[in-house]
Structure 1
């Protein structure tokens, strides 16, 4: 029995076998070719073969910065597996210290390594000259390597930023995304055009540069329209956005416009043939910060202006007046002066009167526009009690959606999920039903039929379950189920006589509403409602009509 296998007492065979298993972590940002994923794997495989290790798992981060752990799913998964005890390996093989991370705080890099060590998993740097064995020399070398990796990123960031500022000062485009009505043209070192760059495309050669070009003539007309509506007609951001969306004019991403896009267009100097760089900056993965005006880099973009420089200057003056910071007492005093002159106040008067802050500024400083009115002794004729109940009715919409989801799961076996601020249900990625609140409007007399108004938001598909409130707008009076083919619009207007026109179903109780929804699903073979048909609306006066039908869907 000399060749018999002898197992000593206290020997754990599973543990012995596990010590031969290792995981590899590889990461590549946009740096050097020697740091490619394939080269790292080859070096790690050679180390594993030399030391008798079997690589059983790979954690990978491609195109990820090593400045922080956020945005690195591979490293996050690795740490989670180690901490949860699910790791079936005892070693983590990494090419070098910089691949583990270029954390600007070296203690952060050490912290993630310590988490692995505390759970019985050792981190090994295969290409480093030191052995990560916990000795004094190993610790000193590792600390210096971490500091060098962090400093390399910092120095590179400074050099790249200086180079971008120099290129932007020459009138070239620096960065990827551009504004509405502009295109990017890649040119060689002799200014010869090469190819237009689409969204997501970048130049390949360092000697190439990017110039801006005009888009279509329709886009240029839209830009001029925006400036005209803002400068001459004194329209607000919301009014301009609404006009563009109603005219089926899509933004540069093919989606509907938002209020925040309007001031972006109005302040874009590309439309007068100039470039501006370094308005904002994000250094080494930190938060985005706004830079002061003296740090901006201006350059001539070598393109013909789309907007007249005089109109652009007037737009900048109006924008600056909206952003001016004045004391709250001064804000209220100016509001009193306008009230004496006009005799009333509302959002449109405040936004279009020179010298007054925007409505959003009053809301920011005083909590609400109604609060600012009360401080100057003005009572708005508008019924503002409805604003106080928004949170309550939002919770009611969510409660109804959850109740319907439970019924659909129990009775029909449909798995639905909340969507659209928890007021709608989706089944398989398709909108099933949305819950809306319709408040009852004040009628002119007892002989007038009651009317309800519901804000539809941007919902354009699925059934609409409208909860109609009573005359006090405090409780739910009944429910109305409307089909998905209802004409698109920002508001839904309902009355007793309009139900037949809208092909709506009146439901006195919520149980009747749920039965009606289930009947619609049964009639459509348990399929979710289809997307509503967009009506062909004509472009509003003052804005050009879009060439394509892209817009609000």
Structure 2
């Protein structure tokens, strides 16, 4: 019995082995190169070896600010593992207090450390002179270090902002995104051009600067046309946007034009030669705020102007008139007066009547036009049941897409991915199929063939699986599969007689639709080539736009 192993009461071998296991958390922002990931890992490895610890897991936040936990997937994953009980370690090794975070509220930094402590995991700071043992001195030292880390970020933010304002005042570009028809040019300290910066590219040296210059002559003509339509023709944002999209003119981000893009161009002083900085600010990771105009930093005559200053001034006056804020009671009173004069209300009447806010303004204040109508006792004759069931049909589109994805994985060996909007499937980054809902329109008399209308959401590639609804527009009647190449337009109009013209395939149910999609894939053999947009050469006399689509 003398050589037998005796375990004392309360001894937990598994816990003793686990206590020698540790995780490491490392973080580096863009500016602090002395806190590089490799330097932190080397210091933590030396600390672990000196204390007999084994590092079993690493959590990394590279190029992430320590001002808040948002945007730090490494720290978020670490906290989740600890709180869920999945952590197979008892210690977390961090280089120093600033690497844990530079939270402006020191209580937030302490809170995340307290969560770990409550779940039986200690946080150790390897490069600090104090030991994190919960003593009074360590608590005071941690509190001071957290405050110093937060203050360092605040002081650095003030210095950086002052320097950027000075650079912007000299006419240089500060910030990456640029508007339509503009280019970023990197220049050296002698103003010699070095290269054109594309989207996502930044200057490499601190001595370099970024200038703005005009883009192509076609883009300048589009900008002048927008100002002319707005100032002289007094056209609305929607009308200008619709004309641009109908003419296949691409925007600067290779997406269709929207109503918000138009006032952004109309208020951009870059088009009269000025650069502007500090219109908005987000100090220390806080909420984005709009700064007053007297705080803006302008660099005059920094760009070759595209728009005449007089035209630009008139456009700003019209924009200011459109942005006049009136109380909601006044908005409803004016709407009630127009209803008494016209006898009815709709978006077109609201947008074309002087003295009334835009229809989008009523939607912003009251949630929808119907809510605004109800405030003045008006009931629209328009059938709005379709609007009430929009969320339901969006879920149905997602359900159909998921069902098709399972079949493609099992039977076709493909790996489809659900698109961001949830109504389509992508394969190898190319659109394979999109699901649309087509409501049945009311026809005049029984002699007219039923017709369906579906909004295609600017979908320009891939198959279209259209779910046609019955007369009540509450249940699915049948399905139609349309080929990728369709006539451009915002809506797809369908009828029984139009299927042959669209080269569509009629499907009585979801099973028939899946069979038709599988047959189409088998016939094409190459899924990405089938769904990708073909780059056909432009016809003579029809030059291509910048995004590859021909202008007309």
Q: Shared fold by TM > 0.5? A: yes
Structure 1 window deviating more from structure 2 (501-510 vs 412-421): it is 412-421
Q: Is the 8 A contact 1:488 1:535 kept in 2?
A: no
Do the aligned partners of residues 254 and 394 (structure 1) sit closer, same or farther apart at CA in structure 2, a change above 3 Å counting?
Answer: closer
> 1:537 offset after TM fit, Å?
12
Q: Deviations over 1:305-341 (max 9, x none)?
A: 1111122122222222222111334334544666688
Q: Is the 8 A contact 1:246 1:537 kept in 2?
A: no
The aligned counterpart of 2:78 is 78
Structure 1 window deviating more from structure 2 (324-333 vs 130-139): it is 324-333
The aligned counterpart of 2:224 is 224
Tell me how far apart the structure 2 counterparts of residues 281 and 468 of structure 1 sit (CA, whole Å).
48
Q: Is the 8 A contact 2:431 2:532 kept in 1?
A: no
Tell me how far apart the structure 1 counterparts of residues 397 and 45 of structure 2 sit (CA, whole Å).
57
Q: Does 1:9 align with 2:4?
A: no
Q: Is the 8 A contact 1:321 1:355 kept in 2?
A: no
Tell me how far apart the structure 1 counterparts of residues 194 and 535 of structure 2 sit (CA, whole Å).
41
Q: Deviations over 1:418-442 (max 9, x none)?
A: 4464333445655443332223334
The aligned counterpart of 2:501 is 501
> 1:360 offset after TM fit, Å?
0.3
Do the aligned partners of residues 381 and 231 (structure 1) sit closer, same or farther apart at CA in structure 2, a change above 3 Å counting?
Answer: farther
> 1:66 offset after TM fit, Å?
0.7
Structure 1 unmatched runs, 5+? none
> 1:67 offset after TM fit, Å?
0.8
Q: Is the 8 A contact 1:248 1:549 kept in 2?
A: no
Do the aligned partners of residues 485 and 260 (structure 1) sit closer, same or farther apart at CA in structure 2, a change above 3 Å counting?
Answer: same
Tell me how far apart the structure 2 counterparts of residues 186 and 413 of structure 1 sit (CA, whole Å).
47
Do the aligned partners of residues 374 and 466 (structure 1) sit closer, same or farther apart at CA in structure 2, a change above 3 Å counting?
Answer: same
Q: Is the 8 A contact 2:83 2:115 kept in 1?
A: yes
Q: Is the 8 A contact 1:157 1:283 kept in 2?
A: yes
- What is the SS of the residue equivalent to 1:480? strand
Q: Deviations over 1:20-41 (max 9, x none)?
A: 3333221110233321122222
Tell me how far apart the structure 1 counterparts of residues 348 and 534 of structure 2 sit (CA, whole Å).
29
Q: Is the 8 A contact 1:478 1:509 kept in 2?
A: yes
The aligned counterpart of 1:94 is 94
Do the aligned partners of residues 129 and 390 (structure 1) sit closer, same or farther apart at CA in structure 2, a change above 3 Å counting?
Answer: closer
> 1:151 offset after TM fit, Å?
1.0
Q: Deviations over 1:221-266 (max 9, x none)?
A: 2221222222223333333333333333322233333332222111
The aligned counterpart of 1:546 is 545
Structural RMSD (CA): 3.6
Structure 1 window deviating more from structure 2 (426-435 vs 456-465): it is 426-435
Instruction: Work out which structure has the larger RCO, using CA pairs closer than 8 Å and 6 or more positions apart in sequence.
Output: 1
Do the aligned partners of residues 378 and 205 (structure 1) sit closer, same or farther apart at CA in structure 2, a change above 3 Å counting?
Answer: same
> 1:105 offset after TM fit, Å?
1.2
The aligned counterpart of 2:440 is 440
The aligned counterpart of 1:44 is 44
* TM-score (norm. length: structure 2): 0.87
Q: Is the 8 A contact 1:218 1:544 kept in 2?
A: no
Q: Does 1:358 align with 2:358?
A: yes
Corresponding residue pairs, total: 548
Tell me how far apart the structure 2 counterparts of residues 392 and 50 of structure 1 sit (CA, whole Å).
61
Tell me how far apart the structure 2 counterparts of residues 435 and 131 of structure 1 sit (CA, whole Å).
60
Q: Does 1:485 align with 2:485?
A: yes
> 1:349 offset after TM fit, Å?
4.5
Q: Does 1:326 align with 2:330?
A: no
The aligned counterpart of 1:458 is 458
Q: Is the 8 A contact 1:462 1:529 kept in 2?
A: no
Q: Does 1:141 align with 2:141?
A: yes
Q: Is the 8 A contact 2:481 2:513 kept in 1?
A: yes
Do the aligned partners of residues 411 and 45 (structure 1) sit closer, same or farther apart at CA in structure 2, a change above 3 Å counting?
Answer: closer
Tell me how far apart the structure 2 counterparts of residues 479 and 87 of structure 1 sit (CA, whole Å).
50
Do the aligned partners of residues 91 and 387 (structure 1) sit closer, same or farther apart at CA in structure 2, a change above 3 Å counting?
Answer: closer
Q: Is the 8 A contact 2:67 2:102 kept in 1?
A: yes
The aligned counterpart of 2:273 is 273
- What is the SS of the residue equivalent to 1:306? coil
Q: Deviations over 1:150-199 (max 9, x none)?
A: 11111111222222223222322111221121122233444443433332
Structure 1 window deviating more from structure 2 (37-46 vs 66-75): it is 37-46
